[in-house]
Amino acid sequence: MRVLHVCAEMFPLLKTGGLADVSGALPLALAPLDCDVRVLLPGFPAIFAGLTIDGEVAQFESFAGTVRLLFGKTADGVGVYVIDAPHLYDRGGNPYQDGNHHPYADNHLRFAILGWVAARIAEGCDGFWRPSVVHAHDWHAGLAPAYLAAVGHPARSVFTIHNLAYQGVFSPSDFAAVELPAHFFDVNGVEFHGHLSFMKAGIYFADRVTTVSPTYAAEITGTEQGCGLDGLLRDRGGALSGVLNGVDEAIWNPASDALIAASYTPEKPAGKAKCKAALQAVMGLEVSADKPLFAVVSRLTEQKGLHLVLAALHEITDRGGQFVLLGSGDAAMEAAFRVAAAENPSQIAVKIGYDESFSHQIMAGSDVIMVPSRFEPCGLTQLYGLKYGALPLVRRVGGLADTVVDCSLENLQDGIATGAVFDVFSSEELTRGIRRMFALWARPKEWKAVRQQAMNSDFGWHTAAAEYCALYRALGA
């Protein structure tokens, strides 16, 4: 069974968020299940830097100019098609925005061509390999199912929503430029409140729609989290399902992680204390095993609930705990966390920016990882926390609800607790969650039992891969 994954980024070649972790791990997990998987990516410089290019597959004159389709492989041996179009992708800033954080004016072309080329591959432009399934990820690849429909469905299609809040909505005047059939610009098509929506295109035209956790799949069919697409998602309910993301244990595993100060396992956790001491030292915090260390690794946005963390920081420090943050985003939030660290440097430390290596060190060194999101499709942060014995403190929403078991008395007695979960999106509820973590910390025997249970939680990619493989086969692939 041949499957083409279509996405904008892929770890370790290029990563701005969790999408890259998924596209990097899922193809490898599918390989043992008789899935011949290849990935289609835009030709960003970072993508080329991490690939061995074997040669050119095809050249096209398209609505986005002349583009070449190249083929190469990652260091892990995953086959990758790359759209070589320097006029589209060889730019400063990040893949989606310029250096001033403004979306590129031609993003509709830069990502429409991703779906358009996917359809060319499905039609057989590579004489040696042709997919039976095209699996498109998030809005960047949302037009792939539409282009497949436009040319008579040469392959079945799956569209995965990683975050419904980011939809790829463009001016109606941009529709003509992407050269879809005119009748596709309709309420039964890509039109969304008079605009062109890549996300809606994927949902409407794909044979199957998935998202990254079962709870989120249910949530997005309601008005609160449906982002205006809940009606369409309800209509497509029979084709919609949630498949929980996993953790790539080749990268995230404290027993073998070369990026952390000491290795450790659920049964032999002593190395975690060394990791904590190393993290405290490098961040200028008081080196102490007795103080619980709370952490955040996140984009600094309202969605992630970081303003709730700011409001509740005193609860951590007043009780003698410590706090460390790694992240970037909202400028006002960045400034507020910097001020908090400057006012209390022995208990609060902040590093603004993105640092993949340091995120591993935080997971290994912290006692609690905080994910108090307003909404969270899946969340990988809490999964990494579970793996590294940083107990998640999360809101009961999306994938957070599906992966963390609250440390209630009955769950502690049953030996299934893995963290703390709160319900209402408020600083008061987060504060209660912090107090419960301190109460658990005051019972070392129970804390260690919960930590061991958390580390033994199985969220490997093998489960998700099996579900996707079954979905492909159900499509007749």
pLDDT tens by residue, 309-365: 999 999 999 999 999 999 999 999 999 999 999 999 999 999 999 899 999 999 999
Peptide bond into 131 cis (omega under 30): no
Cα–Cα–Cα angle for 150, 155, 156, nearest 5°?
95
How far apart (Å, rounded) are the C-alpha atoms in residues 159 and 293? 39
Contacts of 66 (CB under 8 A, 6+ apart): 59, 60, 85
Q: What share of the chain is helix, strand, coil (3-state, %, to 5)?
A: 40, 20, 35
Q: Quick one: how far is CA 362 from the chain centroid? A: 18
DSSP 9: -
Name which of 231, 121, 166 is nearest 16 in CA terms.
166
| 2-246+461-474 and 270-455 in the same fold | yes
Which residue has tokens 């061509």?
A: 113
DSSP 369: E
Name which of 388, 218, 207 is nearest 295 in CA terms.
388
N-term to C-term CA, the chain: 6
How far apart (Å, rounded) are the C-alpha atoms in residues 108 and 81? 20
Domain 2-246+461-474, CATH: 3.40.50.2000
pLDDT tens per residue across span 60-113: 999 999 999 999 999 999 999 999 999 999 998 789 999 888 999 999 999 999
Q: What is the pTM of this model?
A: 0.93
Predicted local confidence at residue 477, as pLDDT: 64
Which residue has tokens 């309202």?
A: 302
β partners of residue 161: 211
pLDDT tens per residue across span 443-467: 999 999 999 999 999 999 999 999 9
Predicted local confidence at residue 232, as pLDDT: 98
Give one DSSP letter per residue of 126-149, joined into a string: STT---SEEEEETGGGTTHHHHHH
15 is in an annotated binding site: yes
DSSP 408: -
Strands 368-371 and 391-395: parallel
**Would you say the C-alpha torsion 246, 163, 111, 44 has a positive or negative sign?**
negative
Sheet of strand 391-395, all strands in order from the earlier edge strand to the far edge: 348-352, 322-329, 293-300, 368-371, 391-395, 420-422
How far apart (Å, rounded) are the C-alpha atoms in residues 153 and 239? 17
Name which of 257, 213, 212, 244 is nearest 363 in CA terms.
257
Report yes or no: 378 and 214 within 8 Å, Cβ to Cβ: no
Which homologous superfamily does the CATH classification assign to the domain defined by 270-455? Glycogen Phosphorylase B; (3.40.50.2000)
The tokens for 460 are: 């490997």
Going from N- to C-terminal start, the domains of the chain cover: 2-246+461-474, 270-455
Give one DSSP letter per residue of 6-37, joined into a string: E-S-BTTTB-SSHHHHHHHHHHHHHGGGT-EE
Report yes or no: 147 and 190 within 8 Å, Cβ to Cβ: no
pLDDT tens per residue across span 232-290: 999 999 999 999 999 999 899 999 999 999 999 999 999 999 999 999 999 999 999 99
The per-residue pLDDT of the chain, averaged, comes to 96
